[in-house]
Amino acid sequence: MLTSESNVQVATLDEMVTTLEEVATVDGRVARRQRNRIAVLDAVVVLFEAGNTEPAVDEVSDISGVSSRSIYRYFHHRDELVRAAMWHLMARIEPQMELADIGEGSLDDRIDRFVKHRLAVFAVLAPITRAARKVAQSLDLGSEEFEAGRLLFRQQFLDHFAPEFATLEGQALTQAVVAAELAFQFDSFEYLSMSFDGNVDEMGYLLVRQLRILLVVLR
């Protein structure tokens, strides 16, 4: 049931993109409007990535070349703008969220690739997640924007390490999966990044070591 929910999210995203493309070819004015919208969202993402968690409409306007008045017409308030920017970024990075060759190779090889992948995803998602959290209470980590990503990641994790988890069931399985996923939560990356002054090699070393300790025991 959880998996099907995440599929619904992905489908909606695809639909949105398709609809945008269809609409763009129909009417020049609508096309311009869509171009402007995308320029605005790109600008918000750029500002977030630069560490600006509270971009002013003027700044968004400067970068996107879209007038403040139009920005207000497209997005009624900040919350809406930030949500739209999150969806926009997620759609853009969707290919990067996928883990190649799931479940293939030796345990060490799978652990290595998994850790590298998650570190890369974190690097892309961190700026916007920090910004989004700052903007609104309604965008907490239980919100659907995050929930979709979380479910996708859990499924990926389970598939990638299916041989190791195969021997477990029920409460033991839940406990093992939750334990192994602790280090891969967004805030854990923040904590590790802080602990190692942003040194990605050390973060990777710790995560590989951590997964190996946990997964080898299961065998």
Partner 1 sequence: MTSELMMPESVEIRTDGRIDRRLRNRDAVLEATIQMFAEGEVMPAIEDVAERVSVSLRSVYRYFATREELIRAALERWLLEETPHLVPPPPIDGDLADRVEYFCAQRLALYFRFAPLARVALVLDGTDPMVREIFEYGRESLRQQFAAQFDTELELLGHRDWAIVTTAATLPLQFHLFEYMHVGCGFDAAQMHDLIVEQLHLHLSAL
Site for partner 1, rule CB under 8 A? 53, 133-134, 137, 141-142, 174-175, 178-179, 182-183, 185, 187-188, 191-192, 195-196, 202, 205-206, 209-210, 213-214, 217
Based on CB atoms, which residue is closest to partner 1, 123 or 172?
172
* Beta carbon nearer to partner 1, 106 or 171: 171
Spatial CB neighbours of 132, under 8 Å, sequence gap ≥ 6: 82, 83, 86, 139, 145
Q: How far are the Cα atoms of 25, 97, 129, 161 from residue 105, in angstroms, in the given order?
A: 45, 20, 32, 10
E strands in the chain: none
In the complex, least distance from residue 81 CB atom to partner 1, rounded to whole angstroms: 20
Compute the distance between CA of residue 162 and CA of residue 54 in angstroms, rounded to an integer: 42
Other Cβ atoms less than 10 A from the Cβ of 132: the count is 24
The least distance separating partner 1 from the CB of residue 129, rounded to whole angstroms, comes to 12
Unique residue bearing structure tokens 């909606």? 12
Q: Which of 121, 118, 127, 125 shows the shortest CA–CA distance to 210? A: 118
Q: Measured from the CB atom, is 119 or 192 closer to partner 1?
A: 192
The per-residue b/e assignment along 53-75, b for 16 or more CB within 10 angstroms, e otherwise, is: bebebebbbebbebeeebbeebb
Give min distance, CB of 215 to partner 1, in A: 11
Q: Which is nearer to partner 1, 17 or 216 (CB)?
A: 216
Question: Closer to partner 1 at the Cβ: 33 or 154?
Answer: 154
- Minimum CB separation of residue 142 from partner 1 in Å reads 8
Q: How far is CA 149 from the centre of its chain?
A: 6
CB closer to partner 1, 16 vs 172: 172
- Rounded CA-CA distance 35/30 in Å is 9
For residue 47, give the nearest of 10, 20, 85, 95 by alpha carbon. Answer: 85
We find the least distance from the C-beta atom of residue 183 to partner 1, in angstroms, to be 6
Cβ at position 72, least distance to partner 1 in Å: 25
